[in-house]
Structure 1
Amino acid sequence: MVNWFDRLRLQLSRHDALLILSVIGLLCGFLAGMVIVLFRLLVESIQASMLPGGQVENYEALPPLVQFALPIVGGLLLGLMFVRFSKGLHVLGIARVMERLIYHQGHLSLRGLLLQFFGAAIAIITGHSVGREGPHVFLGAASGSLLGQYLSLPNNSIRILVGCGTAAGISASFDTPLAGVIFALEVVMMEYTLISFIPIMLAAVSANSLSLMMFEGERVFDLEIIQLGSLHELAFILMLGLAAGTVSAAYVQLIEFISDKSQKMSIWLRNLSAGVLVGLCALVAPQVMGIGYDTVNQILLGEIGLSLLVLLVVAKLIATAASIGLGIPGGTIGPALFIGAALGGVFAPLPSLLLDGPVSDPGVYALIGMGAVMGAALQAPLAALATVIELTHNPEIIMPGMLAIVVASLVSSEVFGKSSMFHTLLEATGLNYHTDPVMQSLRRTGAAEFMNRSFVQLDASLSRDAAKMALNQKPEWVLINGPDDELALMPSVELLRNLELQDDAEIDLLKIPATRYQMSPIRMQSTLQEALEILDNSSAEALYIEWFDEAHYWRIQGILTRAQIESAYRF
Structure 2
Amino acid sequence: MNFSSPKFLRFFIAKLIKKTDEQTFLIIVGSIIGVCGGLAAVILHKATHFTFHALNGLSIPDYLKFFVPTIGILLTVFYMKYISRETPGHGIPDVIYAIARNSGVIKAKLMISRVITSTLTVGFGGSVGLEGPIVVTGSAIGSNIGRYLQLNERRKSILIGCGTAAGIAGIFNAPIAGVTFALEVVLGEFAPTAFIPIVISAVCATEIGRIFLGDKVAFVHTPFIINPFELFLFVILGMICGIFSVSFSKIIYKVENFFHELNVSVFVKALIGGAILGILGITFPSTLGEGYDTIQSLLQQNVSAVLQSDLEHSVTAFFGDPILIISAIFLLKILATTVTLGSGGSGGIFAPSLALGSLIGYIFSHGINLITQAQKYVLDEKFFTPLNETNYSLAAMTGIIAGALHSPLTSIFLIFEITGGYDAILPLMIVSTISYVVSKHYEPESLYTKHLAEQGNLIRKSTDIGVLSKIEIKDILEKNYKLATPEMTLGELVEIVKVSKRNFFPVINPKNREFFGIVFLDQIKQNMFESELYDKILVKEIMETDLEVVNIGERMENVMKKFEITDAWSLPVLDENRFVGMLSKSTIFFKYRNELILQNKS
TM-score bucket of the superposed structures, by smaller chain? 0.7 to 0.9
Residue equivalent to 2:238? 241
1:441-491 per-residue CA deviation (whole Å, 9 max, x = no partner) reads 75999xxxxxxxxxxxxxxxxxxxxxxxxxxxxxxxxxxxxxxxxxxxxxx
Question: CA offset at residue 136 of structure 1?
Answer: 1.4
Residue equivalent to 2:531? none
Aligned-partner residue type, residue 336 of structure 2:
A
Question: CA offset at residue 566 of structure 1?
Answer: 5.6
Say yes or no: does 1:321 pair with 2:309: no
Question: CA offset at residue 255 of structure 1?
Answer: 0.8
Question: CA offset at residue 88 of structure 1?
Answer: 4.6
Question: CA contact under 8 A between 2:118 and 2:346: conserved in structure 1?
Answer: yes
Q: Give the Cα–Cα distance (whole angstroms) in 1 for the partners of residues 99 and 69 of structure 2.
A: 32
Match of 2:410 among 383, 386, 390: 383
Higher Cα Rg, which structure: 2
Aligned-partner residue type, residue 108 of structure 1:
I
Residue equivalent to 1:421? 447
5 Å-filtered alignment, 1:524-563, equals none
Aligned-partner residue type, residue 106 of structure 1:
G
Say yes or no: does 1:229 pair with 2:255: no
Say yes or no: does 1:307 pair with 2:324: yes
Question: CA contact under 8 A between 2:170 and 2:206: conserved in structure 1?
Answer: yes
5 Å-filtered alignment, 1:408-557, equals 408-414=435-441, 416-417=442-443, 419-424=445-450, 426=452, 430=455, 432-435=457-460, 437-438=462-463
Match of 2:392 among 351, 361, 365: 365
Pick closer, same or farther for the CA change 1:264–1:85 going to 2, 3 Å: farther
Report how many residues are paired: 455
Aligned-partner residue type, residue 113 of structure 1:
M
5 Å-filtered alignment, 1:115-130, equals 115-130=113-128
Aligned-partner residue type, residue 409 of structure 1:
Y
Question: CA offset at residue 562 of structure 1?
Answer: 7.8
Question: CA contact under 8 A between 1:144 and 1:164: conserved in structure 2?
Answer: yes
Residue equivalent to 2:39? 34
Pick closer, same or farther for the CA change 1:126–1:537 going to 2, 3 Å: farther
Q: Is the deviation greater in 75-84 or in 351-360?
A: 351-360
Q: Give the Cα–Cα distance (whole angstroms) in 2 for the partners of residues 9 and 441 of structure 1.
A: 27
Residue equivalent to 1:6? 14
The two structures have a TM-score, normalised by structure 1, of: 0.72
| SS of 1:171 mapped into structure 2 | helix
Q: Give the Cα–Cα distance (whole angstroms) in 1 for the partners of residues 355 and 444 of structure 2.
A: 20
Aligned-partner residue type, residue 181 of structure 1:
V
5 Å-filtered alignment, 1:283-362, equals 283-304=282-303, 305-349=322-366, 350=368, 353=373, 356-357=380-381, 358-362=385-389
Q: Give the Cα–Cα distance (whole angstroms) in 2 for the partners of residues 440 and 417 of structure 1.
A: 21
Q: Where does the alignment leave 5 or more consecutive residues of structure 1 unmatched?
A: 54-60, 446-528, 530-535, 542-559
Aligned-partner residue type, residue 598 of structure 2:
A
Q: Give the Cα–Cα distance (whole angstroms) in 1 for the partners of residues 348 and 272 of structure 2.
A: 18
| SS of 1:373 mapped into structure 2 | helix
Match of 1:22 among 11, 24, 27: 27
Question: CA contact under 8 A between 2:55 and 2:124: conserved in structure 1?
Answer: no
Question: CA offset at residue 197 of structure 1?
Answer: 0.6
Pick closer, same or farther for the CA change 1:159–1:567 going to 2, 3 Å: closer
Q: Is the deviation greater in 241-250 or in 354-363?
A: 354-363
Question: CA contact under 8 A between 2:38 and 2:167: conserved in structure 1?
Answer: yes
Q: Give the Cα–Cα distance (whole angstroms) in 2 for the partners of residues 359 and 102 of structure 1.
A: 49
Question: CA offset at residue 30 of structure 1?
Answer: 0.7
Aligned-partner residue type, residue 362 of structure 2:
G
Residue equivalent to 2:54? 49
| SS of 1:231 mapped into structure 2 | coil
| SS of 2:220 mapped into structure 1 | coil
| SS of 2:67 mapped into structure 1 | helix
Aligned-partner residue type, residue 232 of structure 1:
F
Percent of aligned pairs sharing the same letter: 25
1:209-238 per-residue CA deviation (whole Å, 9 max, x = no partner) reads 1101111214321234x3232111122212
Question: CA offset at residue 379 of structure 1?
Answer: 0.9
Aligned-partner residue type, residue 80 of structure 2:
F
Question: CA contact under 8 A between 2:400 and 2:435: conserved in structure 1?
Answer: yes
Residue equivalent to 1:449? none
Question: CA contact under 8 A between 2:358 and 2:392: conserved in structure 1?
Answer: yes
Q: Give the Cα–Cα distance (whole angstroms) in 2 for the partners of residues 115 and 102 of structure 1.
A: 22
Q: Is the deviation greater in 434-443 or in 301-310?
A: 434-443
Q: Give the Cα–Cα distance (whole angstroms) in 2 for the partners of residues 377 and 353 of structure 1.
A: 33
1:70-127 per-residue CA deviation (whole Å, 9 max, x = no partner) reads 1111122122212212335445521221111111122111222332111101001110
Q: Give the Cα–Cα distance (whole angstroms) in 1 for the partners of residues 171 and 392 of structure 2.
A: 22
Pick closer, same or farther for the CA change 1:284–1:356 going to 2, 3 Å: farther
Q: Where does the alignment leave 5 or more consecutive residues of structure 2 unmatched?
A: 1-9, 304-321, 471-556, 558-572, 583-589
1:291-313 per-residue CA deviation (whole Å, 9 max, x = no partner) reads 12111100111122322221121
Q: Give the Cα–Cα distance (whole angstroms) in 2 for the partners of residues 231 and 140 of structure 1.
A: 43
Match of 1:183 among 168, 181, 184: 181
1:109-166 per-residue CA deviation (whole Å, 9 max, x = no partner) reads 1222332111101001110100011111111111111222222222221111110111
Q: Give the Cα–Cα distance (whole angstroms) in 2 for the partners of residues 307 and 26 of structure 1.
A: 48
Residue equivalent to 1:476? none
5 Å-filtered alignment, 1:77-96, equals 77-91=75-89, 93-96=91-94
Question: CA contact under 8 A between 2:90 and 2:349: conserved in structure 1?
Answer: no
Question: CA contact under 8 A between 1:244 and 1:369: conserved in structure 2?
Answer: yes
Q: Give the Cα–Cα distance (whole angstroms) in 2 for the partners of residues 562 and 373 of structure 1.
A: 39
Say yes or no: does 1:171 pair with 2:169: yes
Q: Is the deviation greater in 207-216 or in 105-114?
A: 105-114
Question: CA offset at residue 436 of structure 1?
Answer: 5.8
1:410-431 per-residue CA deviation (whole Å, 9 max, x = no partner) reads 22231x3362011135468x56
Q: Give the Cα–Cα distance (whole angstroms) in 2 for the partners of residues 261 and 29 of structure 1.
A: 38
Question: CA offset at residue 44 of structure 1?
Answer: 2.1
| SS of 1:110 mapped into structure 2 | coil
Pick closer, same or farther for the CA change 1:569–1:157 going to 2, 3 Å: closer
Question: CA contact under 8 A between 2:460 and 2:466: conserved in structure 1?
Answer: no
Residue equivalent to 2:149? 151
Q: Is the deviation greater in 402-411 or in 267-276?
A: 267-276
Question: CA contact under 8 A between 1:179 and 1:383: conserved in structure 2?
Answer: yes
Question: CA offset at residue 288 of structure 1?
Answer: 1.0
Q: Give the Cα–Cα distance (whole angstroms) in 1 for the partners of residues 351 and 338 of structure 2.
A: 13
Q: Is the deviation greater in 137-146 or in 384-393?
A: 384-393
Question: CA offset at residue 177 of structure 1?
Answer: 0.8
Say yes or no: does 1:399 pair with 2:399: no
Residue equivalent to 1:549? none
Question: CA offset at residue 366 of structure 1?
Answer: 0.7
Q: Give the Cα–Cα distance (whole angstroms) in 2 for the partners of residues 440 and 154 of structure 1.
A: 19
Residue equivalent to 1:456? none
Q: Give the Cα–Cα distance (whole angstroms) in 1 for the partners of residues 47 and 424 of structure 2.
A: 35
Aligned-partner residue type, residue 21 of structure 1:
L
